[in-house]
């Protein structure tokens, strides 16, 4: 097996081949990946969209023909808008929660069903897959109050750079996984007052390392994952936590990536 597709709502991607290892990211439904290495219980993979690597439980990787995987990779896919949709697999009629940012290639009889390997899936509600989100702000707001989880990429738990990657992916733009990679993109916005919807604000620690990212909403507001996905005011100093009456993150730079 050289490649496969995630057929679960999400798969934890771990730094080492053991259950206690750090979760560095998550693989979302429909994400394709390359197999790099295998042990008896673990498989090391590389995601084909952002190049992220890690270990996944062997039991969560389905064997799919390379031809089918390649067809899936090349196809134009529907990116699930946040926060989630439900799909049902046949013939067991199992329900799956598919989170925002997941990828679906409607290769079935209509724009409601699809196959991965020998399994057929279909949307379990009347959700219109032709409906497109209005803008980045609408997508980001759909994750409001999602809890912060290091390495998370779903409404059930997400980190700051994962939120940015998923929101942009839903709107058709691929970002790298980590804030330290995302900051390398785009052009500098010189003043907070000039920041527009979709600009990314990056924040640093005392050592000068980029440790946090949020998306500008305009009017001095930023949406970010810190404890939970939330909206805060920010200025040239950083993010101001109104509840605690202090700055929580120090601003390093604002980048316009679109």
Which residue carries 């979760």 as its tokens? 23
Q: Determine the Cα–Cα distance for residues 97 and 40; give it in Å rounded to an integer.
A: 28
Residue pLDDT, tens place only, 64-92: 999 999 999 999 999 999 789 999 998 88
pLDDT at 112: 84
Question: How open is the CA angle 220-255-78, to the nearest 5 degrees?
Answer: 95
Report which secondary-structure segment, H or E, holds 161.
helix 160-170
Q: With a cut of 90, say whether residue 109 has pLDDT above it.
A: no
Longest dimension (CA), the chain: 57
Residue pLDDT, tens place only, 169-180: 999 999 999 999
Residue pLDDT, tens place only, 11-70: 999 999 999 999 999 999 999 999 999 999 999 999 999 999 999 999 999 999 999 999
Domains of the chain, earliest start first: 3-123 (2.30.30.40), 136-256 (3.90.1720.10)
pLDDT at 130: 75
**Residue 201 vs residues 194, 214, 256: alpha-carbon distances, Å:** 12, 5, 9
pLDDT at 151: 98
């Amino acid at each position: 097996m050289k490649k496969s597709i995630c057929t679960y709502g999400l798969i934890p991607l771990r730094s080492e081949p053991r259950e206690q290892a750090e979760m560095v990211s998550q693989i979302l439904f429909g994400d394709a990946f390359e197999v790099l290495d295998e042990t008896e219980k673990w498989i090391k993979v590389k995601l084909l969209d952002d190049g992220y690597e890690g270990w996944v439980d062997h039991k969560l990787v389905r064997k799919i023909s390379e031809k089918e995987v390649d067809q899936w990779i090349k196809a134009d896919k529907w990116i699930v808008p946040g926060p989630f949709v439900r799909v049902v697999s046949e013939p067991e009629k199992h329900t799956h929660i598919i989170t925002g940012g997941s990828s679906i290639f409607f290769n079935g009889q209509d724009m409601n069903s699809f196959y991965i390997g020998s399994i057929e899936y279909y949307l379990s509600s009347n959700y219109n897959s032709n409906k497109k989100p209005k803008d980045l702000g609408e997508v980001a707001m759909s994750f409001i109050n999602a809890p912060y989880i290091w390495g998370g990429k779903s409404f059930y738990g997400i980190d700051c750079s994962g939120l940015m990657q998923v929101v942009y992916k839903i709107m058709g733009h691929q970002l790298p996984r980590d804030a330290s990679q995302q900051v390398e993109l785009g052009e500098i916005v010189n003043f907070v007052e000039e920041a527009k919807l979709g600009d990314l604000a990056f924040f640093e620690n005392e050592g000068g390392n980029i440790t946090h990212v949020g998306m500008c909403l305009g009017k001095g507001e930023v949406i970010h994952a810190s404890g939970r996905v939330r909206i805060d005011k920010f200025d040239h100093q950083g993010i101001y936590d109104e509840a605690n009456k202090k700055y929580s993150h120090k601003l390093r730079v604002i980048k316009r990536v679109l």
